[in-house]
Amino acid sequence: MPSDIIEVNGSQGNAAFDALVKAEQEVSQDILTKGVADEPLDLPNSQKRSAQNLVTRTPWIMTTTEWLTEPQPRALVWAANPKDISWQMTQRSFHSKNLFGTVLHVWPDPYRGTFYDEYRLTINFQSGNLMPVFLRSEDSFVVSDGIANFYDFMQLVDAPKLTTGDKNNPPRANLVHILYNSNLFPKITLMGMFDSQGISFTDSADDPNNVASWSAQFVVYDSIPKLSNFESGQKTNASLLSIWKENRIDNNPTLNSNRQKPALEALDRGIRNAENIA
């Protein structure tokens, strides 16, 4: 394949990968658009409210290849993380019948090293209350983060599908990057694009202070770390286990280390064994 031709789902070749990872680390420090042209602002109001209420939260973050490659990376930081996410992980295969029985046809993905097709996510968002919010630190009412997130999300989905490019850097796929956080996947990055069906939502008179039934479908071309790879020889995914342990145990001050010590040691042994086998 010529070096200047990049397939859309070859996302690891989509940009200078190390630079994107570094930029994602920068946007994780709460840089966001908040609907004000190209200028990033300070912490979202939800983070300020969390601080004044002594609450610690890890927001979802969404950005694009274009935003990440700007001199000052930008992103959309979510005031309220999605309500739920439905995953569909279909295999690149199908069964056919012939005279002698059933035949399985498979097409592994040569770029991602897996028999899984691109993952499809149905994300159900929640806006929170749309009414103005009082911030003690500002001593005033401010626009709710739910409104700002909804308006910014419409802009994000409508972003150009190719980066601007220049004479030295030809346009490339302007992928959406999701810094995903949940108990199942506490810290992974998904790269892909929102489905062409766009956004669905309801503006309801029965519940005028919320965006109801707000959802969108996302197609995952690649992830950091990889969720599955047949080249590992079907061994335990040490990368996912390490990330889970780091974010849900090592960085969790509420766990009683003495009570949890046997379980932690067993998990450590499992991770080390998986790494040695791989």
DSSP assignments along 102-131, one per residue: EEEEE--BTTTTBSB--EEEEEE------S
What is the pLDDT, as a whole number, of residue 218?
Answer: 97
Quote the CA–CA distance of 53 and 106 in Å, as a whole number.
53
- 122: Cα within 13 Å, side-chain hemisphere: 6
CB-based contacts of 50: which residues, under 8 Å, 6+ apart? Answer: 56, 57
* Structure confidence at residue 248 (pLDDT): 75
Tell me what pLDDT residue 105 has.
Answer: 84
The pLDDT value given to residue 29: 45
Chain center to CA of 89: 16
147 neighbors 158 (Cβ within 8 angstroms): no
CA 199 to chain centre: 17
- Reduced to 3 states, what is the DSSP secondary structure of residue 23? helix
Distances (CA, A) of 85 to 154, 177, 185: 19, 16, 12
Answer whether 159's CB lies under 8 Å from 174's CB: yes
Q: Is 211:129 a contact under the CB 8 Å cutoff?
A: no
N- to C-terminal Cα distance for the chain?
29
Structure tokens, 216? 């969108």
Q: Output the pLDDT for position 168.
A: 79
> What are the boundaries of each domain within the chain?
11-232, 235-278
Q: Cα torsion for 18, 19, 20, 25, to the nearest 10°?
A: 90
**Could you give the residue ranges of the DSSP H alpha helices within 140-237?**
145-157
Residue 143 DSSP one-character state: -
Q: Would you tell me how many other CB atoms lie within 10 Å of the CB of residue 184?
A: 11
Q: Please list the pLDDT of the chain residue by residue as tens digits (278 residues).
A: 332 323 333 333 334 445 555 665 555 543 333 333 333 333 445 455 444 444 456 788 898 888 887 777 778 888 888 999 999 998 888 888 888 888 888 888 777 788 888 999 999 999 887 887 777 777 788 778 888 889 889 999 999 998 887 777 788 889 999 989 888 988 888 999 999 999 999 998 888 888 988 999 999 998 888 888 776 666 777 888 888 888 777 776 666 555 556 666 666 666 666 656 55
